[in-house]
Amino acid sequence: MLEPQVDFSVLGRRLRAFGVSGQLSGWLREFWEYPDRGAPSVDHQVEIHTRNGPGPSNDTWTPVALSLPDRTLPVQQSGGRWRAGTVQSGVQLTPGSGSDLVEIWNWSATPDPALLHLALHVMITECLRASGLVPLHAAVAASEHGSTAWLGATGPRRPMESG
């Protein structure tokens, strides 16, 4: 059995990645390895697996356009699964009860690495949302008179290179 190359907690949820490149491992740690800060542990796991070769089954997929704040992300849906990219290179989310599976195939062969990077980010966010977390972009300032929170859209993030 493969040992995970990435294995850490994201706000009380376990994220494990198998067969990932050093670059993808670094990106996962940089953007997703948050200290729990007292968040209760939840029995929920996100597993990421990479492969070379064609993607998962070629079932009937329905095109869907996900509206994001700064662009539209073209994905496909089949049952509860979501996929971005093509059979040749892409990323797919298969939600489960207590464990979600994200599969990545031929990442370095994609003609649009920014699309797959964004899709992977959205899929991990969706896994965490399904586990009970709410994604927010916020800042809080506190003084002896009280606290103020500012909510807003996340600014652009540095895309991961292919590989």
Q: Which domain holds residue 67?
A: 6-151
Residue 86 located in a structural domain: yes
Residue 1 located in a structural domain: no
The confidence score (pLDDT) of residue 163 equals 43
Residue 162 located in a structural domain: no
> Do β-strands 138-143 and 146-151 pair in parallel, antiparallel, or remain unpaired?
antiparallel
The confidence score (pLDDT) of residue 62 equals 93
The confidence score (pLDDT) of residue 47 equals 95
User: With 50 as the cut, is the pLDDT of residue 17 above it?
Assistant: yes
User: With 70 as the cut, is the pLDDT of residue 51 above it?
Assistant: yes
Q: What is the CA radius of gyration of the chain?
A: 17
Q: Which of 27, 50, 46 lies closest to 107 in space, CA to CA? A: 50
Q: Convert the pLDDT of each residue in 76-130 to its tens digit.
A: 999 899 999 888 889 999 999 889 999 999 888 888 888 888 999 999 999 998 8
Question: E strands of 61-106, at which residues?
Answer: 62-67, 72-78, 81-85, 90-94, 99-105
The confidence score (pLDDT) of residue 1 equals 55
Residue 158 located in a structural domain: no
Residue 157 located in a structural domain: no
Q: Give the angle subtended at the CA of 146 by the CAs of 144 and 147, to the nearest 5°.
A: 120
Residue 159 located in a structural domain: no
What is the distance between the alpha carbons of residues 131 and 27, in angstroms, rounded to a whole number? 22
Residue 112 located in a structural domain: yes
How many structural domains is the chain composed of? 1
Q: How confident is the model at residue 153 (pLDDT cuts 50, 70, 90)?
A: low
